[in-house]
Chain A
Amino acid sequence: MSLDVAAIRKDFPVLHRLVNDKPLVYLDSANTSQKPQAVIDALSNFMSHGYAPINRSAYQLAAEATDLFEGTRSALAKFINAPKAHEVIFTKNATEALNLVILSWGRANLNAGDTVLLTHMEHHANIVPWHMLVAERGIQLRWIPLTHDGQLDLSNLDSLLQDVKVFSFTAMSNVLGTINPVQQLCAAAHKAGALAIVDACQSVPHQPTDVQAWGADFVAFSSHKMCGPSGVGVLWGRESLLEALPPFLGGGNMIADVRLDGFTTAELPAKFEAGTPAIAEVIALGAAVKYLDGLGMANIRRHEIELSTYVLNSLTERFGNDITIHGPTNPELRGATFSFAFRGIHPHDLSQVLDQANVCVRAGHHCAKPLMRILGANATARASFYLYNTQQEADMLADALDSASDIF
């Protein structure tokens, strides 16, 4: 079934806002997505009529809040096909989810000389915590290079995986749009005896996710890129691994007992959820999951393949060699996130000109500076499309790009 994008756009109030009397062309969803009315209502209804603490009070209001909160956990587990709801851990964002697993697992299991395999297309959130372990533990980092069209060069994967303790990689590049073969990579990691950690921030909002089919050990993603509120990240992990994992943050909610001489941890998932969480935001994330589920993630993926095909064809036909779009040219191998260079105009200047036409794109290094250096740029402009974007908006991007040449 194809998406009824006109109907979807009606669900997103901000898309009807006129800025300086012109419509908004929001092409920055890889950064953060817009929110449908259902999510806004869930947030507002809970704040207005249901706000209460969770997990710690007997009164009905608190019990209802706990049910709603845990309802999101169950819905998310189903959404990513996790075997058990208590394997879904809420954090403050995906960066914290990655830090939780990297630092907690790393400190318990990695020693000087141990090797971790990463890729050249990682976000800083899947690089810097490892650098911290390099400083703390003396581990070594190894990197999978890229092919000329921005895919992982897997020709030496088996030898790169030799003696590796952890293989941590992105499911989809936030810069190149490249969708990686997660299932194949997890299988290769396990064959080499390595743990497989997947940064799924860019992929979970845009295509069906099945953590069991992937065969992953840990998967991290964020609420705000999948139509939910900011302030919530998710870490999914295999039950046995989470049971063995030491706690990350200490405090309230994560303990079974605290004595003067120590503490014991709570059961999953509370063990990793110290302190009061983003209660309202988690509950509203439940509405986002329901919204995306209702549309069908496979349908969203198909819409984005169609859009990608259109964007790639129309921009290259119109601008030829004046535009360089990074990443795979085959829309089946990529998401609708396009980093590009245009007529030698600096991305910052480009995004400033696009802003005159209300075309919202990101300009910068996209928290992937090692990848930027490999691309030979210190910044790119990035237009990223989502379920509410149209071919007409791709044309508006192209028109706005053309106008930039009048200035520079």
Chain B
Amino acid sequence: MAGLEDLYREIILDHYRTPRNRGELDAPAVSAEGHNPLCGDEIRIFVDVRDGIVTDVRFNGSGCSISQSSASMMTSAIKGKPVAQVKAIVKKFKSMMTVDEDESPVDESLNLGDLEALQGVVKFPVRIKCATLGWNTLLDALTAAGQ
């Protein structure tokens, strides 16, 4: 049986206790809302995309330590990056979570940094949806931004 130490790594709990980029962004930034219908977790991701670059990103909502810390780490990982690279990071993360749906290759050279700490979530399959909630919502927000 997988132990809780695989799930609740210190870096995860740190992002849960002290979330980065929590808040909202005003227009022209756009946002998207995500729900986990199984547990009621809610999240809203705000993105400001200028000249193909995610210049700012924020999130708010409420949820468990995994959904909140994953969203926090995600915002840190993508802020200031070109949209194409952001999408590659999303793809790599979803691949790590075993829920990458399309066939295109994952960019193995990308370094997920702190996000690697979430790898343990895979051992708790029910929680994968918690970890990916913010990421799927980010994709919706990018779509709303015309990306």
A residues engaging B (CB < 8 A)? 20, 346-349, 352-353, 356, 363-365, 369, 372, 378-379, 407-408
Contact = CB atoms under 8 A, between A and B. Distances in A.
Given A356-B3, A356-B4, 4 more contacts: A20-B1, A348-B64, A365-B40, A379-B39
B59 to A, nearest CB: 15
A364 B65 CA distance: 14
Of A364, A365, A369, A379, chain B has the most CB atoms within 10 Å of the CB of A379
A381 B62 CA distance: 15
9 contacts: A346-B64, A347-B64, A348-B39, A352-B4, A353-B4, A365-B40, A379-B40, A379-B41, A407-B8
B130 interface: yes
Interface string B136-147: 000000000000
Contacts of A407: 4, 8, 13
Contacts of A20: 1
A379 B65 CA distance: 13
Interface string B114-147: 0000000000100100100000000000000000
B71 to A, nearest CB: 13
A347 to B, nearest CB: 8
Nearest to B4: A356
Contacts of B64: 346-349
A341 to B, nearest CB: 13
A364 B67 CA distance: 14
B63 interface: yes
B85 to A, nearest CB: 31
Contact of A352 (B13, B62, B127): B127
Nearest to B67: A348
A352 B7 contact: yes
Contact of B13 (A353, A379, A408): A408
Interface residues of B, number: 19
A32 to B, nearest CB: 16
A200 B66 CA distance: 36
A378 B4 contact: no
B21 to A, nearest CB: 20
B58 to A, nearest CB: 19
Contact of A372 (B13, B40, B127): B40
B42 interface: yes
Of A349, A356, A364, chain B has the most CB atoms within 10 Å of the CB of A349
Nearest to A380: B40
Given A348-B130, A352-B7, A353-B4, A378 B65 contact: no
Given A346-B65, A349-B65, A352-B124, A378 B42 contact: yes
Nearest to A350: B64
B38 interface: yes
Contact of B63 (A346, A352, A353): A346
Contacts of B66: 348-349
Contacts of A378: 40-42, 62-63
A364 B38 contact: yes
A407 B17 CA distance: 12
A353 B38 CA distance: 18
A124 B39 CA distance: 14
B144 to A, nearest CB: 23
Contacts of B7: 352
A76 to B, nearest CB: 32
A344 to B, nearest CB: 11
Contacts of A352: 4, 7, 124, 127
A346 B8 CA distance: 13
B13 A364 contact: no
A379 B62 CA distance: 10
The 9 A-B pairs of least Cβ separation, nearest first, read A348-B64, A365-B40, A378-B40, A346-B64, A364-B39, A379-B40, A20-B1, A349-B65, A349-B64
Nearest to B8: A407
A186 B93 CA distance: 54
A349 B64 CA distance: 6
A364 B40 contact: yes
B13 A369 contact: no
Interface string B88-132: 000000000000000000000000000000000000100100100
Interface string B1-39: 101100110000100000000000000000000000011
Nearest to B63: A346
B15 to A, nearest CB: 13
Given A348-B130, A352-B124, A408 B41 contact: no
Contacts of B42: 378
A408 B65 contact: yes
Nearest to A406: B4
Nearest to A19: B1
Nearest to B62: A378
A407 B62 CA distance: 19
Contacts of A363: 39
Given A349-B64, A352-B127, A365 B1 contact: no
